[in-house]
Chain A
Amino acid sequence: MLAGGGLAVPARVSRAGSGPRGTGDLGIVIERATGSVLVVETTGRTVLGRIEGLGDLSHASAVFSRDERYAYVFGRDGGLTRLDLLEMRIDRRIVQAGNSIGGAISDDGRLVAASNYDPGGVKVFDADTLVEVAAIPAIGAQGRASKTVGLVDVTGRRFVYTLYDAGEIWIADFSRGATPVLTKFPDAGALPYDANVTGDGRHYLAGLFGEDGITYLDLWDDAPKLRRVFQGYNAGRDKLPVYKMPHFEGWGQSGSDLVLPAAGQNEVLLLDLSTLKEKARIAVHGQPVFCVARPDGREVWINFAHPANDTIQILDVPKAKIVHTFQPGPAVLHLEFTPRGHEVWISVRDADRVDIMDVRTRAKVGEIAARKPSGILFTARAHRLGS
Protein backbone atom coordinates (compact mmCIF):
# COMPACT_ATOMS: atom_id res chain seq x y z
CA MET A 1 0.00 0.00 0.00
CA LEU A 2 1.41 3.34 -0.98
CA ALA A 3 0.90 6.40 1.15
CA GLY A 4 -1.53 8.77 -0.56
CA GLY A 5 0.05 11.90 -1.93
CA GLY A 6 3.47 11.18 -0.45
CA LEU A 7 4.79 9.20 -3.36
CA ALA A 8 8.29 10.16 -4.34
CA VAL A 9 8.39 10.35 -8.10
CA PRO A 10 11.55 10.54 -10.14
CA ALA A 11 11.78 13.43 -12.54
CA ARG A 12 12.68 11.20 -15.46
CA VAL A 13 12.20 7.61 -16.47
CA SER A 14 13.76 5.47 -13.79
CA ARG A 15 13.84 2.28 -15.71
CA ALA A 16 16.31 -0.34 -14.60
CA GLY A 17 19.03 -0.13 -17.18
CA SER A 18 18.86 2.77 -19.57
CA GLY A 19 18.45 0.85 -22.80
CA PRO A 20 15.70 1.56 -25.29
CA ARG A 21 12.12 0.77 -24.32
CA GLY A 22 8.85 0.47 -26.20
CA THR A 23 5.87 2.69 -25.51
CA GLY A 24 2.96 0.32 -26.17
CA ASP A 25 2.34 -0.26 -22.46
CA LEU A 26 2.58 3.39 -21.44
CA GLY A 27 -0.12 5.82 -20.50
CA ILE A 28 -0.88 8.96 -18.56
CA VAL A 29 -3.00 9.74 -15.53
CA ILE A 30 -4.33 13.30 -15.34
CA GLU A 31 -3.94 14.92 -11.92
CA ARG A 32 -6.71 17.44 -12.27
CA ALA A 33 -6.05 19.70 -9.31
CA THR A 34 -2.31 20.20 -9.73
CA GLY A 35 -1.88 20.57 -13.49
CA SER A 36 0.32 17.51 -13.61
CA VAL A 37 0.25 14.07 -15.21
CA LEU A 38 1.74 10.78 -14.15
CA VAL A 39 3.41 8.70 -16.82
CA VAL A 40 2.59 5.08 -16.05
CA GLU A 41 3.32 1.66 -17.49
CA THR A 42 0.83 -1.16 -17.35
CA THR A 43 3.19 -4.15 -17.51
CA GLY A 44 4.67 -3.71 -14.03
CA ARG A 45 1.82 -1.36 -12.97
CA THR A 46 4.17 1.42 -11.94
CA VAL A 47 4.56 5.18 -12.12
CA LEU A 48 7.51 6.20 -14.27
CA GLY A 49 7.37 9.85 -13.39
CA ARG A 50 5.35 13.01 -12.94
CA ILE A 51 5.32 15.89 -15.40
CA GLU A 52 4.19 19.25 -14.07
CA GLY A 53 3.29 22.59 -15.56
CA LEU A 54 0.33 21.68 -17.78
CA GLY A 55 -1.95 24.45 -16.51
CA ASP A 56 -5.59 23.92 -15.54
CA LEU A 57 -6.45 20.25 -16.06
CA SER A 58 -9.76 20.31 -14.19
CA HIS A 59 -11.19 19.02 -17.46
CA ALA A 60 -8.64 17.32 -19.67
CA SER A 61 -8.21 14.75 -22.37
CA ALA A 62 -5.40 13.51 -24.56
CA VAL A 63 -4.55 11.85 -27.85
CA PHE A 64 -1.33 10.12 -28.88
CA SER A 65 1.09 10.30 -31.80
CA ARG A 66 1.22 7.36 -34.19
CA ASP A 67 4.54 6.21 -32.75
CA GLU A 68 3.04 6.25 -29.25
CA ARG A 69 5.84 8.44 -28.00
CA TYR A 70 4.00 11.73 -27.60
CA ALA A 71 0.81 12.58 -25.77
CA TYR A 72 -1.14 15.72 -26.68
CA VAL A 73 -2.95 16.94 -23.59
CA PHE A 74 -5.89 19.34 -23.96
CA GLY A 75 -6.46 21.35 -20.78
CA ARG A 76 -9.37 23.37 -19.51
CA ASP A 77 -7.49 26.66 -19.91
CA GLY A 78 -6.90 26.18 -23.64
CA GLY A 79 -3.45 24.70 -23.09
CA LEU A 80 -2.24 22.16 -25.63
CA THR A 81 0.81 20.34 -24.38
CA ARG A 82 2.88 17.80 -26.27
CA LEU A 83 4.49 15.42 -23.78
CA ASP A 84 7.45 13.22 -24.59
CA LEU A 85 6.68 10.04 -22.68
CA LEU A 86 10.18 8.64 -23.09
CA GLU A 87 12.07 11.75 -22.07
CA MET A 88 9.41 12.41 -19.44
CA ARG A 89 9.12 16.10 -20.21
CA ILE A 90 7.04 18.76 -21.91
CA ASP A 91 8.20 18.83 -25.51
CA ARG A 92 6.07 21.79 -26.60
CA ARG A 93 3.25 23.75 -25.09
CA ILE A 94 0.93 26.45 -26.37
CA VAL A 95 -2.15 28.14 -24.97
CA GLN A 96 -4.40 28.09 -28.01
CA ALA A 97 -7.71 29.29 -26.55
CA GLY A 98 -9.28 30.60 -23.37
CA ASN A 99 -11.21 27.47 -22.55
CA SER A 100 -10.99 24.09 -24.19
CA ILE A 101 -12.73 20.74 -23.96
CA GLY A 102 -10.76 18.17 -25.93
CA GLY A 103 -9.29 17.20 -29.22
CA ALA A 104 -8.36 14.66 -31.83
CA ILE A 105 -5.48 13.67 -34.08
CA SER A 106 -5.86 13.02 -37.82
CA ASP A 107 -5.54 9.49 -39.18
CA ASP A 108 -2.15 10.32 -40.75
CA GLY A 109 -0.93 11.73 -37.42
CA ARG A 110 -0.07 15.12 -38.95
CA LEU A 111 -2.83 17.34 -37.55
CA VAL A 112 -4.01 17.87 -34.00
CA ALA A 113 -7.40 19.53 -33.60
CA ALA A 114 -8.68 21.22 -30.45
CA SER A 115 -12.30 21.78 -29.57
CA ASN A 116 -12.88 25.08 -27.78
CA TYR A 117 -15.49 26.69 -25.55
CA ASP A 118 -13.91 30.12 -25.48
CA PRO A 119 -13.78 31.54 -28.11
CA GLY A 120 -15.58 28.50 -29.52
CA GLY A 121 -14.80 26.74 -32.78
CA VAL A 122 -11.98 24.37 -33.62
CA LYS A 123 -8.29 25.05 -34.13
CA VAL A 124 -5.97 22.73 -35.98
CA PHE A 125 -2.22 22.48 -35.45
CA ASP A 126 0.77 20.79 -37.02
CA ALA A 127 1.35 17.76 -34.82
CA ASP A 128 5.14 18.18 -34.77
CA THR A 129 5.47 21.91 -34.26
CA LEU A 130 2.07 22.91 -32.79
CA VAL A 131 2.05 25.75 -35.31
CA GLU A 132 -1.52 26.72 -36.20
CA VAL A 133 -2.72 25.31 -39.52
CA ALA A 134 -6.35 26.41 -39.44
CA ALA A 135 -8.82 28.18 -37.18
CA ILE A 136 -12.45 27.32 -37.89
CA PRO A 137 -15.00 29.53 -36.16
CA ALA A 138 -18.23 27.75 -35.33
CA ILE A 139 -20.92 30.16 -36.44
CA GLY A 140 -24.17 28.30 -36.98
CA ALA A 141 -26.81 28.96 -39.63
CA GLN A 142 -28.56 31.32 -37.21
CA GLY A 143 -25.37 33.37 -36.86
CA ARG A 144 -24.68 32.04 -33.43
CA ALA A 145 -21.08 31.48 -32.23
CA SER A 146 -20.78 28.09 -30.65
CA LYS A 147 -18.82 26.08 -28.21
CA THR A 148 -17.78 22.84 -29.88
CA VAL A 149 -18.02 19.33 -28.43
CA GLY A 150 -17.65 15.75 -29.57
CA LEU A 151 -14.61 16.36 -31.79
CA VAL A 152 -13.35 13.11 -33.33
CA ASP A 153 -11.10 12.05 -36.19
CA VAL A 154 -12.35 9.85 -39.00
CA THR A 155 -10.73 8.46 -42.13
CA GLY A 156 -9.27 10.71 -44.84
CA ARG A 157 -7.87 13.51 -42.65
CA ARG A 158 -11.32 14.50 -41.53
CA PHE A 159 -12.59 15.76 -38.20
CA VAL A 160 -16.21 15.65 -37.12
CA TYR A 161 -17.58 17.83 -34.33
CA THR A 162 -20.76 19.29 -32.91
CA LEU A 163 -21.78 22.88 -32.23
CA TYR A 164 -23.30 23.05 -28.76
CA ASP A 165 -25.07 26.41 -28.94
CA ALA A 166 -26.05 26.28 -32.62
CA GLY A 167 -27.09 22.62 -32.62
CA GLU A 168 -25.19 21.58 -35.75
CA ILE A 169 -22.73 18.87 -36.76
CA TRP A 170 -19.81 19.79 -39.02
CA ILE A 171 -17.24 17.76 -40.93
CA ALA A 172 -13.88 19.44 -41.62
CA ASP A 173 -12.06 17.66 -44.43
CA PHE A 174 -8.30 18.34 -44.60
CA SER A 175 -7.57 15.79 -47.32
CA ARG A 176 -6.65 18.56 -49.78
CA GLY A 177 -4.28 20.39 -47.46
CA ALA A 178 -4.43 23.08 -44.83
CA THR A 179 -7.70 24.65 -45.94
CA PRO A 180 -10.57 22.47 -44.83
CA VAL A 181 -13.67 21.71 -46.86
CA LEU A 182 -16.59 22.04 -44.46
CA THR A 183 -19.80 20.04 -44.64
CA LYS A 184 -22.48 21.30 -42.28
CA PHE A 185 -25.53 19.57 -40.89
CA PRO A 186 -27.88 22.14 -39.33
CA ASP A 187 -30.85 21.21 -37.16
CA ALA A 188 -28.92 18.57 -35.26
CA GLY A 189 -30.97 19.20 -32.13
CA ALA A 190 -30.99 21.41 -29.04
CA LEU A 191 -27.90 21.62 -26.83
CA PRO A 192 -25.86 18.65 -28.04
CA TYR A 193 -23.52 18.21 -25.06
CA ASP A 194 -21.23 15.46 -26.31
CA ALA A 195 -20.75 13.17 -29.30
CA ASN A 196 -18.60 10.32 -30.45
CA VAL A 197 -17.98 8.00 -33.37
CA THR A 198 -17.78 4.21 -33.38
CA GLY A 199 -14.39 2.58 -33.90
CA ASP A 200 -15.09 1.94 -37.58
CA GLY A 201 -15.60 5.66 -38.15
CA ARG A 202 -19.15 5.09 -39.28
CA HIS A 203 -21.76 5.92 -36.64
CA TYR A 204 -21.57 9.43 -35.15
CA LEU A 205 -24.02 10.17 -32.35
CA ALA A 206 -24.62 13.38 -30.42
CA GLY A 207 -26.46 13.39 -27.08
CA LEU A 208 -28.99 16.20 -26.71
CA PHE A 209 -29.65 18.07 -23.51
CA GLY A 210 -32.27 20.49 -24.74
CA GLU A 211 -34.53 17.87 -26.23
CA ASP A 212 -35.38 14.29 -25.76
CA GLY A 213 -33.22 12.13 -28.00
CA ILE A 214 -29.89 11.47 -29.64
CA THR A 215 -28.84 12.68 -33.10
CA TYR A 216 -27.37 10.12 -35.49
CA LEU A 217 -25.23 10.51 -38.61
CA ASP A 218 -24.03 7.65 -40.82
CA LEU A 219 -20.61 8.82 -42.05
CA TRP A 220 -20.36 5.94 -44.50
CA ASP A 221 -23.36 7.24 -46.39
CA ASP A 222 -22.45 9.06 -49.62
CA ALA A 223 -24.87 11.79 -48.64
CA PRO A 224 -25.23 11.53 -44.86
CA LYS A 225 -28.53 12.65 -43.36
CA LEU A 226 -29.35 13.45 -39.75
CA ARG A 227 -31.69 11.10 -37.96
CA ARG A 228 -32.90 10.89 -34.39
CA VAL A 229 -32.68 7.83 -32.21
CA PHE A 230 -34.20 7.34 -28.76
CA GLN A 231 -36.58 10.18 -29.54
CA GLY A 232 -38.82 10.81 -26.57
CA TYR A 233 -37.08 8.40 -24.23
CA ASN A 234 -37.96 10.59 -21.29
CA ALA A 235 -41.62 10.88 -22.29
CA GLY A 236 -44.02 10.42 -19.41
CA ARG A 237 -41.40 10.54 -16.71
CA ASP A 238 -39.43 13.18 -14.86
CA LYS A 239 -35.98 14.04 -16.02
CA LEU A 240 -33.72 13.97 -12.99
CA PRO A 241 -31.37 16.87 -12.31
CA VAL A 242 -28.02 16.12 -13.97
CA TYR A 243 -25.08 16.87 -11.66
CA LYS A 244 -22.47 15.72 -14.11
CA MET A 245 -22.87 15.56 -17.86
CA PRO A 246 -22.77 12.10 -19.39
CA HIS A 247 -19.70 11.50 -21.58
CA PHE A 248 -19.71 9.56 -24.84
CA GLU A 249 -15.96 8.98 -24.83
CA GLY A 250 -15.13 5.27 -24.49
CA TRP A 251 -18.74 4.28 -25.07
CA GLY A 252 -19.50 0.60 -25.33
CA GLN A 253 -19.81 -1.06 -28.70
CA SER A 254 -20.38 -4.77 -28.81
CA GLY A 255 -21.06 -6.15 -32.26
CA SER A 256 -24.02 -4.15 -33.53
CA ASP A 257 -25.00 -3.03 -30.03
CA LEU A 258 -24.04 0.39 -28.74
CA VAL A 259 -24.36 1.27 -25.06
CA LEU A 260 -24.95 4.94 -24.29
CA PRO A 261 -25.46 6.86 -21.05
CA ALA A 262 -28.96 8.32 -20.71
CA ALA A 263 -29.20 12.00 -19.72
CA GLY A 264 -31.40 12.58 -16.68
CA GLN A 265 -32.28 8.95 -15.99
CA ASN A 266 -30.70 6.23 -13.91
CA GLU A 267 -30.27 4.03 -16.94
CA VAL A 268 -28.15 3.18 -19.94
CA LEU A 269 -29.52 2.89 -23.45
CA LEU A 270 -28.83 0.00 -25.77
CA LEU A 271 -29.05 0.87 -29.48
CA ASP A 272 -29.06 -1.68 -32.28
CA LEU A 273 -26.82 -0.07 -34.90
CA SER A 274 -28.04 -2.41 -37.65
CA THR A 275 -31.62 -1.14 -37.38
CA LEU A 276 -31.11 2.12 -35.40
CA LYS A 277 -33.87 0.89 -33.09
CA GLU A 278 -33.85 0.92 -29.34
CA LYS A 279 -32.97 -2.53 -28.04
CA ALA A 280 -33.17 -1.99 -24.29
CA ARG A 281 -33.06 0.48 -21.46
CA ILE A 282 -31.24 -0.91 -18.49
CA ALA A 283 -31.76 0.45 -14.99
CA VAL A 284 -28.50 1.25 -13.23
CA HIS A 285 -27.26 2.52 -9.87
CA GLY A 286 -27.29 6.24 -10.69
CA GLN A 287 -26.93 8.60 -13.60
CA PRO A 288 -24.19 7.18 -15.82
CA VAL A 289 -21.19 9.28 -16.84
CA PHE A 290 -18.90 6.92 -18.77
CA CYS A 291 -20.02 3.62 -20.33
CA VAL A 292 -16.65 2.11 -21.17
CA ALA A 293 -16.45 -0.99 -23.31
CA ARG A 294 -14.05 -3.74 -22.42
CA PRO A 295 -11.88 -3.90 -25.57
CA ASP A 296 -13.57 -7.12 -26.75
CA GLY A 297 -16.99 -5.48 -26.25
CA ARG A 298 -18.49 -8.22 -24.10
CA GLU A 299 -18.85 -6.00 -21.05
CA VAL A 300 -19.40 -2.31 -20.44
CA TRP A 301 -18.18 -0.81 -17.18
CA ILE A 302 -20.18 2.19 -16.00
CA ASN A 303 -19.42 4.97 -13.54
CA PHE A 304 -21.88 7.51 -12.18
CA ALA A 305 -22.51 11.16 -11.43
CA HIS A 306 -22.42 12.78 -8.03
CA PRO A 307 -23.78 11.71 -5.52
CA ALA A 308 -23.59 8.08 -6.74
CA ASN A 309 -20.01 8.36 -7.88
CA ASP A 310 -18.43 5.82 -5.53
CA THR A 311 -19.71 2.91 -7.61
CA ILE A 312 -19.00 0.98 -10.79
CA GLN A 313 -21.42 -1.43 -12.41
CA ILE A 314 -20.63 -4.02 -15.04
CA LEU A 315 -23.10 -4.60 -17.84
CA ASP A 316 -23.00 -7.90 -19.70
CA VAL A 317 -23.96 -6.63 -23.15
CA PRO A 318 -25.27 -9.85 -24.79
CA LYS A 319 -27.38 -10.55 -21.69
CA ALA A 320 -28.35 -6.86 -21.40
CA LYS A 321 -27.98 -7.28 -17.66
CA ILE A 322 -25.95 -5.77 -14.80
CA VAL A 323 -23.79 -8.63 -13.52
CA HIS A 324 -21.62 -6.94 -10.92
CA THR A 325 -21.63 -3.84 -8.70
CA PHE A 326 -18.77 -2.63 -6.55
CA GLN A 327 -17.53 0.47 -4.76
CA PRO A 328 -13.92 1.41 -5.55
CA GLY A 329 -14.11 4.51 -3.33
CA PRO A 330 -15.10 8.17 -3.26
CA ALA A 331 -15.47 9.93 -6.63
CA VAL A 332 -14.69 7.40 -9.34
CA LEU A 333 -14.01 9.71 -12.28
CA HIS A 334 -12.73 7.54 -15.09
CA LEU A 335 -11.54 4.08 -16.08
CA GLU A 336 -9.35 2.71 -18.85
CA PHE A 337 -8.75 -0.87 -19.92
CA THR A 338 -5.34 -2.16 -20.90
CA PRO A 339 -5.21 -2.57 -24.69
CA ARG A 340 -6.58 -6.10 -24.81
CA GLY A 341 -8.59 -5.76 -21.63
CA HIS A 342 -6.87 -8.03 -19.13
CA GLU A 343 -6.79 -5.27 -16.52
CA VAL A 344 -8.58 -2.01 -15.87
CA TRP A 345 -7.31 1.14 -14.17
CA ILE A 346 -9.83 3.17 -12.18
CA SER A 347 -9.28 6.70 -10.86
CA VAL A 348 -10.66 7.28 -7.38
CA ARG A 349 -10.32 11.03 -7.07
CA ASP A 350 -11.05 11.64 -3.42
CA ALA A 351 -8.87 8.75 -2.27
CA ASP A 352 -5.93 10.14 -4.33
CA ARG A 353 -5.53 6.71 -5.79
CA VAL A 354 -5.76 4.70 -9.02
CA ASP A 355 -6.92 1.11 -8.52
CA ILE A 356 -5.86 -1.65 -10.87
CA MET A 357 -8.14 -4.65 -11.25
CA ASP A 358 -7.95 -7.99 -12.94
CA VAL A 359 -10.88 -7.88 -15.35
CA ARG A 360 -11.68 -11.59 -15.34
CA THR A 361 -11.53 -12.22 -11.57
CA ARG A 362 -12.58 -8.64 -10.68
CA ALA A 363 -9.97 -8.70 -7.91
CA LYS A 364 -7.84 -5.68 -7.17
CA VAL A 365 -4.26 -6.42 -8.17
CA GLY A 366 -2.56 -3.12 -7.52
CA GLU A 367 -2.83 0.59 -6.97
CA ILE A 368 -0.82 3.72 -7.52
CA ALA A 369 -0.93 6.98 -5.62
CA ALA A 370 -2.03 10.00 -7.65
CA ARG A 371 -3.16 13.48 -6.67
CA LYS A 372 -6.87 13.91 -7.43
CA PRO A 373 -6.70 11.63 -10.47
CA SER A 374 -9.22 11.99 -13.30
CA GLY A 375 -8.61 10.80 -16.87
CA ILE A 376 -6.52 7.69 -17.51
CA LEU A 377 -5.36 7.36 -21.11
CA PHE A 378 -3.17 4.62 -22.55
CA THR A 379 -1.06 4.90 -25.70
CA ALA A 380 -3.07 2.19 -27.50
CA ARG A 381 -5.54 4.98 -28.27
CA ALA A 382 -3.02 6.09 -30.92
CA HIS A 383 -4.28 3.30 -33.15
CA ARG A 384 -8.01 3.70 -32.75
CA LEU A 385 -10.19 5.93 -34.89
CA GLY A 386 -12.19 8.50 -33.04
CA SER A 387 -10.26 8.33 -29.80
Chain B
Amino acid sequence: MDLTLRFFATFREIAGQKVVEKTYDDDLTIGGLLTALEAEYPEMQEELLIDGDIKPQINVLKNGREVLHMQGIDTQLEDGDTISLFPPVAGG
Protein backbone atom coordinates (compact mmCIF):
# COMPACT_ATOMS: atom_id res chain seq x y z
CA MET B 1 0.00 0.00 0.00
CA ASP B 2 1.05 3.58 -0.57
CA LEU B 3 1.31 5.96 2.36
CA THR B 4 2.04 9.66 2.54
CA LEU B 5 4.32 10.52 5.47
CA ARG B 6 4.43 14.11 6.68
CA PHE B 7 7.22 15.22 8.99
CA PHE B 8 7.30 18.39 11.10
CA ALA B 9 10.03 20.28 12.99
CA THR B 10 12.90 18.03 14.10
CA PHE B 11 11.54 14.99 12.25
CA ARG B 12 11.55 17.02 9.06
CA GLU B 13 15.26 17.65 9.48
CA ILE B 14 16.04 14.01 10.14
CA ALA B 15 14.06 12.84 7.13
CA GLY B 16 15.45 15.67 5.02
CA GLN B 17 12.00 16.06 3.50
CA LYS B 18 8.61 17.38 4.52
CA VAL B 19 6.53 14.86 2.65
CA VAL B 20 7.53 11.35 1.65
CA GLU B 21 5.49 8.90 -0.41
CA LYS B 22 6.30 5.31 0.44
CA THR B 23 5.08 1.83 -0.42
CA TYR B 24 4.69 -0.74 2.34
CA ASP B 25 3.35 -4.25 2.71
CA ASP B 26 -0.42 -4.36 2.87
CA ASP B 27 -0.80 -5.47 6.49
CA LEU B 28 0.71 -2.62 8.48
CA THR B 29 -0.09 -0.95 11.80
CA ILE B 30 1.15 2.35 13.20
CA GLY B 31 3.56 0.34 15.36
CA GLY B 32 4.93 -1.41 12.30
CA LEU B 33 5.33 1.85 10.46
CA LEU B 34 7.16 3.55 13.35
CA THR B 35 9.44 0.52 13.69
CA ALA B 36 10.23 0.72 9.98
CA LEU B 37 10.96 4.46 10.26
CA GLU B 38 13.30 3.93 13.21
CA ALA B 39 15.15 1.35 11.13
CA GLU B 40 15.31 3.58 8.06
CA TYR B 41 16.39 6.77 9.85
CA PRO B 42 19.03 6.09 12.53
CA GLU B 43 18.39 9.48 14.16
CA MET B 44 14.76 8.51 14.74
CA GLN B 45 15.81 5.50 16.81
CA GLU B 46 14.29 5.75 20.27
CA GLU B 47 12.56 8.98 19.20
CA LEU B 48 9.30 7.31 18.13
CA LEU B 49 8.80 4.23 20.28
CA ILE B 50 9.49 3.41 23.90
CA ASP B 51 8.75 0.08 25.62
CA GLY B 52 6.75 -1.04 22.63
CA ASP B 53 4.46 1.99 22.64
CA ILE B 54 4.38 5.41 21.01
CA LYS B 55 6.57 7.88 22.91
CA PRO B 56 4.40 10.25 24.98
CA GLN B 57 6.37 13.24 23.67
CA ILE B 58 5.32 12.87 20.05
CA ASN B 59 2.13 13.00 18.09
CA VAL B 60 1.17 10.61 15.36
CA LEU B 61 -1.82 11.47 13.23
CA LYS B 62 -3.61 9.26 10.77
CA ASN B 63 -5.47 11.39 8.26
CA GLY B 64 -5.43 14.32 10.72
CA ARG B 65 -6.61 12.36 13.77
CA GLU B 66 -4.43 11.44 16.72
CA VAL B 67 -3.93 7.66 16.67
CA LEU B 68 -4.10 7.53 20.48
CA HIS B 69 -7.81 8.14 20.04
CA MET B 70 -8.03 5.21 17.62
CA GLN B 71 -6.25 1.94 18.47
CA GLY B 72 -2.92 3.58 19.29
CA ILE B 73 0.04 1.56 18.18
CA ASP B 74 -2.30 -1.14 16.80
CA THR B 75 -4.14 1.29 14.53
CA GLN B 76 -4.39 -0.38 11.14
CA LEU B 77 -3.20 1.54 8.09
CA GLU B 78 -4.81 1.52 4.69
CA ASP B 79 -3.73 2.39 1.19
CA GLY B 80 -3.76 6.15 0.67
CA ASP B 81 -3.48 7.12 4.36
CA THR B 82 -1.55 10.21 5.36
CA ILE B 83 0.52 9.89 8.52
CA SER B 84 1.84 13.02 10.23
CA LEU B 85 4.59 12.97 12.83
CA PHE B 86 5.41 15.94 15.03
CA PRO B 87 7.01 16.88 18.33
CA PRO B 88 6.05 19.90 20.42
CA VAL B 89 8.19 22.98 19.89
CA ALA B 90 8.77 25.61 22.55
CA GLY B 91 10.54 28.55 20.92
CA GLY B 92 9.24 32.03 21.54
Are A and B associated in one complex? no
Listed in ascending order, the chain A residues whose CB lies under 8 Å from chain B are none
